[in-house]
Amino acid sequence: MKKQSYTVIIANGEFPTHPEPLSYIENANRIICLDGALEACLKNNITPEAIVGDGDSISSALRKQYAHLLHIFTDQETNDLTKAVAYCIKNGFLIIKVIAATGKREDHTLGNISLLLDYMSDCEIEMITDYGIFTPISSTTVFESIAGQQVSIFNFDRTPISSHNLKYPLNKYVLDNLWKGTLNESLGKTFTVVTEGKTLVYQTFEVGK
């Protein structure tokens, strides 16, 4: 089976330490970083293919040294992660893994996670953290899993959600608060989420945690 090609975007949150997100970086076809993440990338021996942002989060020395890789977008209506995703879509990089987008400030973390729902209509995107993976969906989706994997489901437009092969089954249930679909558990090698609305599914790396 052919290995999937994908692009990693390294954001300006906490740089990962867990082997899973680090392996995504190691096996990426290309790496794009936000301008504010360049120092962290260089400290971890990563030279990105492109550096994207509004230019206000990079030192003048690095800006000069890496001018050939810089793609500056001065639009203040979008954040740097959105600029990087737009850069990928424009260049046909349509399978994207976002890394280092959580940690540090909680408002940035919440904003970055919620933006996955806006990106998913134009590309295939996931966010990988030190603890698990966020996947945005808007239709019935089967997820690969293992028994005991912790699963949380977040719906953002109050459409009924159903599930198959989760410990606590959902049957056309409306998740009208973020906590209501959390702390579920996979019963086997796959589980299914049935939805017609904007939904985020979170899967932990560790079993039973």
The 10s digit of each residue's pLDDT in 160-196 is 999 999 999 999 999 999 999 999 999 999 999 999 9
Signed CA dihedral, 34, 39, 43, 46: sign only: positive
Write out the DSSP string of 168-206.
Answer: S--SSB---SGGGG-SEEB-SSEEEEE-SS-EEEEEEEE
Question: Which one is predicted more confidently, 152 or 1?
Answer: 152
Residues 83 and 99 in one domain: yes
Which residues lie below 8 Å from residue 182, measured CB to CB, with a gap of 6+? 152, 153, 154
Confidence of residue 1 (pLDDT cuts 50, 70, 90): very low
What percentage of the chain carries pLDDT values higher than 90?
81
169: domain CATH number?
A: 2.60.120.320
- At 86, phi and psi to the nearest 5? -60, -40
64-79 confidence digits (pLDDT tens): 899 999 998 887 788 8
Q: Return the SS3 of 64.
A: helix
Element containing residue 70 per DSSP (H, E): strand 70-72
Does residue 19 lie within any of the structural domains?
Answer: yes
Domain that holds residue 198: 136-207
Q: Which of 97, 130, 163 is the last residue of a domain?
A: 130
Q: Is this prediction's pTM over 0.85?
A: yes
Q: Return the SS3 of 168.
A: coil
Does residue 198 lie within any of the structural domains?
Answer: yes
* CB atoms inside a 10 Å sphere around CB 30: 15
Least confident of 10-24, 54-68, 93-107, 121-135: 54-68
Write out the DSSP string of 81-102.
Answer: HHHHHHHHHHTT--EEEEES-S
Number of domains in the chain: 2
35: domain CATH number?
A: 3.40.50.10240
Distance CA 145, CA 187 (A): 9
Residues 113 and 14 in one domain: yes
Residues 103 and 141 in one domain: no
Q: Give 141's DSSP letter.
A: E
Instruction: Note the pLDDT of residue 3.
Output: 64
